[in-house]
Amino acid sequence: MPTPSSRRTFLQQSSGLIAGTALGIPAVHGGGGSEIKFAVIGFGGRGSGAANQILNTKGNTKLIAIADAFPDHGVFKKRLEATRKRWGQKVDLPAERIFSGLDGYKKAIDCGPDLVVIATPPGFKPQQFEYAIHKNKHVFMEKPIASDVIGVRRVLEANKLAKANSRMVGIGLQRRHEEIYRDCVKRLQDGVIGDINLMRVYWNGRGIWYRERQPDMTDMQFQVNNWYHFCWASGDQICEQHIHNIDVGCWVKGMFPVEANGMGGSELRMGGDHTKSQIFDHTFVEFTFEDGTKMYSQGRHVPGSWTQVSEFAHGSKGVSKVGGWIQPFGGERIKIRGKAGGHQQEQHDLIEALMRGDIYNEADYGAMSTFTAILGREACYSGQRLLAKDLMEHGRSYCPGIDQYTWETEPPVVKDENGRYPVPVPGRYKPYA
């Protein structure tokens, strides 16, 4: 596990915009007037969203290449057509710079962009990040940054080179760029409700999308097209969505948990049909920080159940809904006011920093928040109390050999004799390699 930084250093790096340092170098792109060319790897909802948000900044930005697993699908074409129509000449995408397949990311990165947006399923991100950094590119990468511990370690290692070469790395944990969150977290860290002794974090929703198998699909194509439903690709709901709330809890505390225990299962996901999905539909985790305080985590996808997506901090002098309000004991509730819209703001911050020549790097805390979500998932899958240091060293690989995957490769998970995908069973599942 990386050596923990001091609390002061952690708070400075994670609550401020500049997570690295302004290096005093000339502006990366000629004082802000030069063109910033970028490529997008994975043009789904978040990839196309990030592209439009980058084009909507004050920078002289241009989209020059895309790699997507399924560029022939109608949804891809509609997104691209809408982007072209909205931005005109800021989208320079001839057919020869639109790449398909699982290795298309290399071709898009080799087209010469200054910035690479990585918005693919989490299992694929570590090797794509490595490739972009070794090609000396700036990177914006959506969360989570991996689906397993091996991927987290790859990103942490590649990020050493990124920092050595002064490469910008933004991570899509957009709450850290929202004014209402930044203001609230600063007040909490300044002691407005005293010592924080408990965090409660939630992502309880109703469910997610599913895409029916097409007749000509290989099993790899089917699983990649339904990546959320397979842990090797998505990391499960606790990583793919609940990471936002877990990250906020760690941000407020100024540290990452050192152990976890949890529970969960998959009784109602897709109506209990494990021929279509293998991830849990509910998890509950008790995280423990090094100071002995706790963070309780709920993640759920169950139609008809209570929904909640939020974070709460409990202190010795009050309680706060992070990004919403602060309630000191015996005092009046303080409403947090300011801008939300973190998806757009994180791109404003990234592009404006590039124009100034400032360099910040969010990959380390993005990796460690991903690891914390994985720690919670593995505790739920196994039913065991897990120590973070042990899991970081011995955690299992969910997608071995992923760098060589093709559409004909057998996926990491296959159906049993009854046509069902395996689902982890607490008490039997082994979290270590």
Q: How far apart are CA 225 and CA 64, in angstroms?
A: 25
Q: Which CATH superfamily groups domain 7-174+344-361?
A: NAD(P)-binding Rossmann-like Domain (3.40.50.720)
Phi (first) and psi of residue 352, to 5 degrees: -65, -35
Residue type, 328: P
Residue 2 has pLDDT above 60, yes or no: no
Q: Which CATH class is domain 176-340+371-404?
A: alpha beta
Considering only 31-45, 384-398, 415-429, which range has the smallest mean pLDDT?
31-45
Which residue ranges make up each domain of the chain?
7-174+344-361, 176-340+371-404
In this predicted structure, what is the pLDDT of residue 272?
A: 84
Task: Please tell me the distance from the alpha carbon of residue 255 to that of residue 239, in angstroms, as a whole number.
Answer: 18
Tokens representing 234?
């998505």
Q: What is the pLDDT of residue 12?
A: 45
Confidence of residue 4 (pLDDT cuts 50, 70, 90): very low
Q: Is the dihedral of CA 183, 186, 192, 195 positive or negative?
A: positive
Name the phi and psi angles at 18, rounded to 5.
Answer: -85, 100
Indicate whether 167 pLDDT > 60: yes
Is it the case that residue 7 has pLDDT exceeding 90? Answer: no
Asked, colleague to colleague, whether 7-174+344-361 and 176-340+371-404 share their fold, the answer is no
When pLDDT is cut at 50, 70 and 90, the band that residue 270 belongs to is confident
Q: HSE-up of 288 (CA within 13 Å, CB side)? A: 14
Q: What is the pLDDT of residue 314?
A: 98
